[in-house]
Amino acid sequence: MAARKAMVAGNWKMNGSLELVEKLSDAINNAEFSEVKIVLFPPFPLIPAMIASGVNTGAQTVSEHTSGAFTGEVDAELIKQLGANYVLVGHSERRSVYKESNDVVAAKFARAQQAGLTPILCVGESETERENGQTEQVVAAQIDAVINKLGVAALEDSVIAYEPVWAIGTGKTASPEQAQTVHKFIRDKIASLEGNLAQGLTILYGGSVNEKNSELLFAQTDIDGGLIGGASLKAESFAAICNSAKGTV
């Protein structure tokens, strides 16, 4: 069984600058975070600078295609060639704003792995789906799209991020108990197919995580760290969140 390691990922969305790359990388490089895997996801043009700063870097999205007439899209191979190692797939903003279906997300996941990138598969329910008691059904369908396309073994070289849509950018965080319940559901679901893989799988929580709530969230048995949006744009907050992940896995 692969040992899990705490992980904190920062999704800058369409924010950031070269100055911010310097600030954030200084904060990370000047602290001791060897126990925690830290990865930042800046917009595409900032990827080379982030890599040059020595911080693990990923892309926020990737094309499911390899090449061709897809204006504005970026192939996984190019991202890998730059030296990035991760890519987010299925972020709720991609699903809702750009109408990416479970099948498209699964195709992006496949293309990322084919090029040697580790996909972080983002899953999560909307507020209405939670109110209707559909959380597990929605999350299961999002994960099954990948399993049905590639087999459960594909999850071995991936990370799952549970991000309830109602908690993203809203200041409404899931309680540690609410988040743990869904994380356990995800791990148990995968364990029913492949026990060792499920035990080794990193499952992150995302949705309004900040330096005040991260410690309790990360202390939950099945929460291995966080995917951080807004707070990853502030060097002090992000460093404090990374610090709170130490010793939690």
Out of 56, 207, 225, 237, the residue judged to bind ligand PEP by CB under 6 A: 207
Q: Is 136 strand, coil or helix?
A: helix
Residues 162-201 that bind ligand PEP (CB under 6 A): 163, 168-169
Please report whether residue 87 would count as binding ligand PEP according to CB under 6 A.
no
Is 55 or 231 the residue whose CB approaches ligand PEP more closely? Answer: 231
Out of 42, 206, 218, 240, the residue judged to bind ligand PEP by CB under 6 A: 206
Query: 108, 73 in Cβ contact below 8 A?
Result: no
Determine the interface stretch with ligand PEP among 28-36, 106-114, 124-132, 204-212 (rule: CB under 6 A).
204-212
d(CA 38, CA 113): 20
Query: 212, 237 in Cβ contact below 8 A?
Result: no
3 class by beta-carbon count within 10 Å (0-12 exposed, 13-18 middle, 19+ buried): exposed
Query: 201, 161 in Cβ contact below 8 A?
Result: no
Cβ at position 194, least distance to ligand PEP in Å:
26
Phi and psi at residue 100, in whole multiples of 5°? Answer: -80, 120
Count of chain residues binding ligand PEP (CB under 6 A): 14
Is 225 or 230 the residue whose CB approaches ligand PEP more closely? Answer: 230
Residues 5-44 that bind ligand PEP (CB under 6 A): 11, 13
CA dihedral 160, 165, 169, 171 (to 10 degrees): -110
Residues 226-245 that bind ligand PEP (CB under 6 A): 227-231
Eight-state DSSP code of residue 154: G
User: CB neighbours of 19 closer than 8 A, spacing ≥ 6?
Assistant: none
Determine the interface stretch with ligand PEP among 78-86, 127-135, 205-213, 235-243 (rule: CB under 6 A).
205-213
User: Is residue 211 among the annotated active site residues?
Assistant: no
Residues 38-77 that bind ligand PEP (CB under 6 A): none
Q: Which residues bind ligand PEP (CB under 6 A)?
A: 11, 13, 163, 168-169, 206-209, 227-231
Positions marked active-site = 91, 163
